[in-house]
Each structure stands twice: as structure tokens, then as C-alpha cells.
Copies of this chain bind each other. A is one copy, B any other.
Amino acid sequence: MADVARRASVSPATVSRVLNGRDSVGAAYRRRVLEAVEELSYRPNRLAQNLRRQRTATIGVVVSDIENPHFSEMVRAVEDRAYRQGYRVLVCNTDESPEKQRAYLQTLVEERVVGVVLTTSDPVGREISELLDRGIPLVAFDREVADARADAVIAENVGAARSAVELLVGGGHQRIAFVSGRKDVETGAERLDGYQLAMRAHGLEPEVVEGRFRTDSARAAVAQLMAETDRPTALIVGNNLMTLGALAAVQDAGITVPHHLALVAFDDPSWAALVDPPLTTLAQPVRRMATEAMELLLERISGARTEPRRTVHPFVLRKRTSCGTG
């Protein structure tokens, strides 16, 4: 930069002003500087800028597991929007571990990221507030955080679970079991709640097995369920990974869907229409939600908004064949 200043016969301050365009600079000076920049093919040192400004052009995305298609879709949408805005994105996998999340959030504040999208594995973590204290905007994705200053983009899990129950009840089912995700995770708890509420509303007894959001756990749980002599006639599965396990268990048991067992699954992975029979799913508008999360974040970053905002997104029921009705 000193070289540029020398070559243009101006001070470094003027070079900086020209390049940042914040302060007004005389036309002749501007031209001289731009020429010198061009001739020396000068690129400002990002690290120095970061230090001086005490922030980076980086956005942190914290999810439990980017390998879960749900989150890869989300990260993809976030990255798209970030790129268009000139931001980089740092991905952080927590594996639902509050410990790992703590470490990562700490890293993100040290790294002076300009904003964070977080699917929390620990809603009450102190680091969330620390982030906000330091003026780093945060938007909660899928799962709320305790700090009221954060924005949130949430899916209507309770309603979705209810609509699944309604669908199956409408199809004549009485024994509808639910393969539950982790109850200590908001998404899991809400879907379970919605299921139980809807069942009780119909005077039906909830039957819950634990799938912990994992393929193998769900497979074991459903295998056990299918081995019962008097087994449920319908199954609602709490997310896409568990659906893989549930389907495997059902196949192993030689049970035909939807004839012997109706199935409705949360999430709408790419392969949902290809299995036999095509899966009736509750599709969360992940891409739209992620894009919205980024909009909220960008509004905060630019200072265009200071009041927290929270948006709730309904699922869409994709009726295919596995539910056996309509």
C-alpha cells in the first residue's frame, strides 16, 4: 500500500479512502490512485483490514451435522446468499454436543465473525449471550435459543405432527406409533408433543419409541415394534435419518407398506419418491427458511433492523403412497 501511495504521490490515507469510497476524494487524486493500484496490481491485505476493523467478512454456521441432508441443504442456501453478499462461511459441526458448540461459538467470537446462524444443541448456553453482548447478530435456525435478542427462523413442528396424525386417523388408523427423535432437542420434543397432543385429542393412546434422530437407533426400535404380535397399523417417523432405519426394519420384518403399515415421515429427502412405496412426507421448506435466516442476518449486520424477529414456517404435506390414504 505504501508502494501505491508513493507511486501515486499521495498519502496512504488517501489510497485507503479511494479504495473504501467512504470519504470523498478529489477526482485527480482518485484517478492517480486507481492507476497506481492497477499498475502494481495491488490487493489490500485482508488480515490487516480485519485487525483494524475488528471484524471479518465471515459468517459462522453451526449445525449438528452437515452430513444430514437437512443441514447440507441449509448450509448450501446460506452459502449461496453469503457469497452473493461477499461473505465467507465457516461451518461448524456440533454433533449435538453442548461442549463442542461451546467451543465453536467461542471460536466464532474470537474469529470476529460478522454473524452466526445457529441450530443450537444447547439453547441456554452462555456463549450465545456472549455473542450477542459483543454485538454479533445471531439467528436461531430450527431451534430457539434462550436469549431474546436473537432472531429465529422456526418450523411449525407441532402442527406438522398433528397433520400427520390427522391424515392417518382420517385413513381409519387407531394405533399410530411415533419414532421419536431426541427429546432434549427442541425439534424432537415439539414433534413428539404435536403427535401426543393430536393423539389424545382423538382419544387415542400415543405409542412412542426412541429413535434419537439416528438411523441405527430407529432401525432397532422399529424392529422391536414390528416384532410385537399386536403391532401398530401406522407409523410416523421423526426425521429423514430415522426413516432410513425404519424402512430397513420394516423391510426386514417383511411388512408391506402401506398395506400392513401406513407410513408418514418427517423431512422430504431426495429419495422419498423413489422407495417402494413412495413416501408420504412432511417437507420442511428448508431452503426458503435458510434464505430467510440469511436475510434476517444481513438486516442485522447492516443495522437496518434492531428489533428481534421470529418467523415460523409451516411444513407441507407431500401425500404419496406410503400413508395408504387419499
Contact = CB atoms under 8 A, between A and B. Distances in A.
Interface of A: 43, 45-48, 50-51, 54, 56, 58, 65-67, 69, 72-73, 75-76, 79-80, 83, 88-93, 100, 107, 110-112, 215, 241, 244, 247-248, 251, 269-271, 273-276
B56 A67 contact: no
Contact of A76 (B58, B66, B111, B112): B66
What is the total number of copies of this protein in its complex?
2
A270 B83 CA distance: 29
Contact of A275 (B66, B69, B112, B274): B274
B47 A76 contact: no
A322 to B, nearest CB: 12
A10 to B, nearest CB: 24
A6 B58 CA distance: 33
Contact of A72 (B51, B67, B80, B89): B67
A110 B247 CA distance: 48
B91 A274 contact: no
Nearest to A79: B93
Contact of A73 (B58, B67, B247): B67
A149 to B, nearest CB: 22
Given A56-B47, A66-B76, A112-B46, A244 B89 contact: no
B276 A47 contact: no
Contact of A248 (B69, B92, B274): B274
Given A72-B72, A215-B270, A241-B270, 11 more contacts: A46-B111, A47-B51, A47-B56, A66-B76, A67-B72, A67-B73, A76-B93, A244-B271, A251-B274, A275-B275, A275-B276
Contacts of A248: 273-274
Contacts of A274: 244, 247-248, 251, 271, 275
Nearest to A50: B47
A145 to B, nearest CB: 22
Contacts of A58: 90
B67 A76 contact: yes
A271 to B, nearest CB: 4
A303 to B, nearest CB: 21
Max count, chain B CB within 10 A of own CB: residue among A67, A247, A269: A67
A111 B92 CA distance: 18
A54 B65 contact: no
Contacts of A88: 90, 92, 107, 111
A199 B58 CA distance: 49
A122 B13 CA distance: 38
Contacts of A66: 66, 72, 75-76, 79
A73 B69 CA distance: 10
A89 B66 CA distance: 12
